[in-house]
Amino acid sequence: MQNLILIGFMGAGKTSVGNCLACETGMDFLDTDERIVAEQGMEISAIFEKYGEPYFRDLETDLLERMQTDTENSVISVGGGMPMRERNRELLRSLGCVVYLVASKKTILGRVQNDGTRPMLNGEDLEKRVERLMREREALYREAAHFRLQTDERSIPEVAREVLSEARKFGY
């Protein structure tokens, strides 16, 4: 089996569902944010603060490039902004089956409130920020994904099971 890649907005459940999928299938689990933090020896918020967002985006692309040759049979959860670059969308699809985990603004807001670890959400008026980013990103998530799944009010194992059954239809 090739890789299963989970994309979607911050708080959509990529990491939780990814962990669950890896447990159920015995596949390895890899989270791009965790990998970047480990490699840089810095938290994401510190990378943004010290070097800025474009630097972080370059780290993401560089990691995806390397994963083309060193990652297989893995469940991969990627940072919410990863699919925004055209090159990243190509790289994601060449890694395997790309699944867009969709969540409503209400669900997202409930999950990301009071979370100081996500620099894209720092500042005033969280709701407006989330709304704007979701609007800007929606079409690109769809473009990157082989299929999408709604996650609102569904448990993590439920979503994980559906990811697997849908992915099988794509030959995974």
Site string for ligand S3P, 146-165 (x = CB under 6 A): --------------------
Q: Which of 93, 119, 150, 161 binds ligand S3P (CB under 6 A)?
A: 119
C-alpha–C-alpha distance, residues 10 and 35, integer Å: 17
User: Two tokens at 156?
Assistant: 């993590």
13 binds ligand S3P (CB under 6 A): no
Tell me the closest approach of the beta carbon of residue 169 to ligand S3P, in angstroms: 26
* Site for ligand S3P contains 118 (CB under 6 A): yes
Residues within window 21-50 making contact with ligand S3P, judged by CB under 6 A: 33, 44
Structural contact between residues 91 and 140, judged by C-beta atoms closer than 8 angstroms: no
What is the spatial distance between Cα 95 and Cα 73, in angstroms, rounded to a whole number? 10
Q: Is 120 in the site for ligand S3P (CB under 6 A)?
A: yes
Going through the chain in order, the beta strands assigned E by DSSP cover 3-7, 28-31, 74-77, 96-102, 147-150
| Smallest distance, ligand S3P to C-beta of residue 75, A | 14
By CB under 6 A, the count of residues binding ligand S3P is 10
| Closest of 170, 153, 65 to residue 103, by C-alpha | 153
Nearer to ligand S3P, 127 or 170 (CB): 127
Q: How far is CA 88 from CA 7, 85, 93, 140, 141, in A?
A: 12, 5, 9, 11, 11
Shortest CB 171 distance to ligand S3P, Å: 27
Enumerate binding residues for ligand S3P (CB under 6 A).
10, 14, 33, 44, 79-81, 118-120
